[in-house]
Structure 1
Amino acid sequence: MTARPLRKLGFLSIGLFDPADPRTGLESTLEIIELGERLGFDSAWVRHRHLQYGISSPLTVLAAASQRTRRIELGTAVTPLGWENPLRLAEDLATVDVLSGGRLNPGVSVGPPMHYDNVKQALYPNTADREDFSHERVRRLLALVGGEPATDFSGVEGFEVFSDRVQPHSPGLRSRMWYGGGSLRSARWAGEQGMNFLTSSVVKAEESEDFTEVQLSHIRAFRGNHPDGERARVCQGLVVIPTDSASPRQRAKYREYAAARTPRTATPQGPARLMFARDLVGSSAEVAERLHADAAFREVDEVAFALPFTFEHADYEQILTDMATRLGPALGWQQVDT
């Protein structure tokens, strides 16, 4: 199958910071998003890191980014709903979407919070053993984002006016909701809900131990169960590091980073049998050739390439510049007018 020309080029950042100086790291993330817009990227995504030295409140960061950009789409990849109240999250999502002019792309996932036994008393002190971390949590969020009633009360009470649905309401937001899934069941479910689908560099080894084969099965299962069929949106997120304009020091660091992570790609990891994709490091021509050979990549036309977690600001500038000016065009992407 011939690869689809790349229609949307995006990137993902974890937004690490020094615990003694968090503002510098958060400011770096905002500057990277601004750079992405100047380079013509279609989207910038951030990832939650609760109780770590990374972005714990992506929507707050994206609200700030929305006021420093005018065109680039802003997404979460992903928001783990086990940490969230769907009604409150729906209010925050709608608020940031309105502030951004309809540019928000919320990605979500389900399951218990990481290290739940250690955090549940702080997070849900009275309901920890009764919380529902299933897909029902997503259904609640989708309904509220879509404008379904949140209460049976509305009208005027004294000097205050009350609505029966989440405010503000952003009519287009429901169509920009994404599900981040790494299993066949999740892919099918996301399609049935009419969501968009985020597939990353981590999948579960269910029917195969070939990463590309598994990811391809997820994409096809999602579209096979989606009302839009082959037109349903899928975004692939791999770690991709073009080295065209990198210095010798940077190239050595990038290859060392990828080499240290390669052993985990050999076999499924842990009880969940997680499989990891190899990081792609090399010239844009080399990376493009490897992507075009990837059967899963050939079936998508949107990407959110993940930036390595621990690099420096200057490294991200070089990587993003090479992505936009060399790798993207090599994949058929055309830079938008900035």
Structure 2
Amino acid sequence: MPSSPRPLRKLGFLTIGLFDEADPRRGHETTLEIIELGERLGFDSAWLRHRHLQYGISSPVAVLAAASQRTRRIELGTAVTPLGWENPLRLAEDLATVDLLSGGRLNPGVSVGPPMHYDRVRDALYPDTADAEDFSYERVRRLLAFVRGEPASAFSGTEGFEVFSDRVQPQAPGLGGRMWYGGGSLDSARWAGEHGMNLLTSSVVKAEDPDGPWDFAEIQLSLVRAFRAAHPDGEAARVSQGLVVIPTDSATPGQRAKYEEYAARRLPRTATPQGPGRLLFAPDLVGPSAEIAERLHAHAAFREVDEVAFALPFTFEHEDYVQILTDMATVLGPALGWKPAEG
């Protein structure tokens, strides 16, 4: 039986950071402006999503390095970095560097599996090793080991005038405890828990029962419980939920119509599992904050988390995001028991 709703402790948001191919700098700049706005509004975290070979941020870690110098409090995360595109050792160096630059505010979220459209990019990405690459959880385990200070080399010491470490440098204290796994299946939730990670659960889960019925909230709840059952911290293990949430309290009539049309176009995919991966999508939540809060309080998985990173729709305009974030922080968040961060 689901517990009573927990007061929302941490409110965050996720953006894809779209840009125009003819003016990519402006798109990246508006993403940084959105993160700065989030800090002013008291949000606890801002998250970026990877988009490779598309017109969205391909290097969130670099963008978050810039954001770390334009903010001082808000936590900065990736949701998520697909590790199939990454070398775990090199990524560990980048993550530690940005974490230090941010003052310990980085929250890297990762996932596994082959890169999207792997058959089309394999020759560019791994021209000599495409068939030998391991896209399993082992890739995450390697990253965790390097971030947490396990040896990356069989040599340390002085060679000539240079000093070498057998660990990734720099080492960022505390970063190992702020690693997140983006999981949509029971196996991934359990694996993340067993390896002491935090869990990012989004608006997509895997419908593993072929016969149904398929209830998104109940499936997501099973992931949360499986993760915590496997995690050394048990019920205290951190879970962040990432539904698409669009409050309309201060929206113009034109904005409300656009938001409702966006959600209506996406609603059919929520009825049954999609594709060979049997992915089940959550309906987007659009409307006044009071209505959204009521729906969230009735959501089986939301009732057992106290952190969220609500996803911003990908195709809206900058002024839409300003309105949505402002309503989230000033109306919806407080309706969920959240208090904005100070300073």
Superposition TM-score tier, normalisation by shorter sequence: over 0.9
2: CA distance, partners of 1:169 / 1:291: 39
Structure 2's unaligned 5+ residue stretches are none
Report how far residue 160 of structure 1 moved: 1.2
Which is worse superposed, 11-20 or 153-162? 153-162
Q: Which residue of 2 aligns with 1:336?
A: 341
SS in 1 for 2:192: helix
Structure 1 residue identity aligned to 2:259: Y
1: CA distance, partners of 2:206 / 2:340: 34
Report how far residue 154 of structure 1 moved: 1.1
Q: Which residue of 2 aligns with 1:284?
A: 289
Q: Which residue of 2 aligns with 1:112?
A: 114
Structure 1 residue identity aligned to 2:289: S
Structure 2 residue identity aligned to 1:186: S
SS in 2 for 1:337: coil
Structure 1 residue identity aligned to 2:39: E
Q: How does 1:89-168 map to 2 (within 5 A)?
A: 89-168=91-170
Among all aligned residue pairs of Structure 1 and Structure 2, give the percentage whose two residues are the same amino acid.
Answer: 82
Q: Which residue of 2 aligns with 1:246?
A: 251
Partner residue of 1:6 out of 2, 5, 8? 8
SS in 2 for 1:71: coil
Residue 263 (structure 2) pairs with residue 261 (structure 1): no
Partner residue of 1:44 out of 43, 46, 49? 46
TM-score (norm 1): 0.99
2: CA distance, partners of 1:272 / 1:35: 37
Q: How does 1:320-331 map to 2 (within 5 A)?
A: 320-331=325-336
Structure 1 residue identity aligned to 2:323: Q
Q: Which residue of 1 aligns with 2:26?
A: 24
Report how far residue 159 of structure 1 moved: 1.5
SS in 2 for 1:48: coil
Q: Which residue of 1 aligns with 2:324?
A: 319
SS in 1 for 2:93: helix
Displaced runs of 4+ in structure 1, greater than 2 A?
none
SS in 1 for 2:127: coil
2: CA distance, partners of 1:33 / 1:147: 30
Q: How does 1:170-249 map to 2 (within 5 A)?
A: 170-207=172-209, 208=212, 209-249=214-254
Report how far residue 299 of structure 1 moved: 0.3
1: CA distance, partners of 2:193 / 2:156: 34
CA deviation map 1:275-302 (0-9, x unaligned): 0000000000000000000010000000
2: CA distance, partners of 1:152 / 1:134: 24
Structure 2 residue identity aligned to 1:227: P
CA deviation map 1:203-235 (0-9, x unaligned): 010134111111000000000000000000000
RMSD in angstroms over aligned alpha carbons? 0.6
Structure 1 residue identity aligned to 2:237: A
2: CA distance, partners of 1:147 / 1:273: 37
Q: Which residue of 2 aligns with 1:63?
A: 65
2: CA distance, partners of 1:321 / 1:315: 10
Which is worse superposed, 199-208 or 278-287? 199-208
1: CA distance, partners of 2:324 / 2:309: 13
1: CA distance, partners of 2:192 / 2:341: 29
Q: Which residue of 1 aligns with 2:55?
A: 53
Report how far residue 138 of structure 1 moved: 0.4
Report how far residue 250 of structure 1 moved: 0.4
SS in 2 for 1:295: coil
Report how far residue 336 of structure 1 moved: 1.1
Which is worse superposed, 155-164 or 100-109? 155-164
CA deviation map 1:254-292 (0-9, x unaligned): 000000000100111011110000000000000000000
Structure 1's unaligned 5+ residue stretches are none
1: CA distance, partners of 2:198 / 2:207: 22
Aligned residues: 338
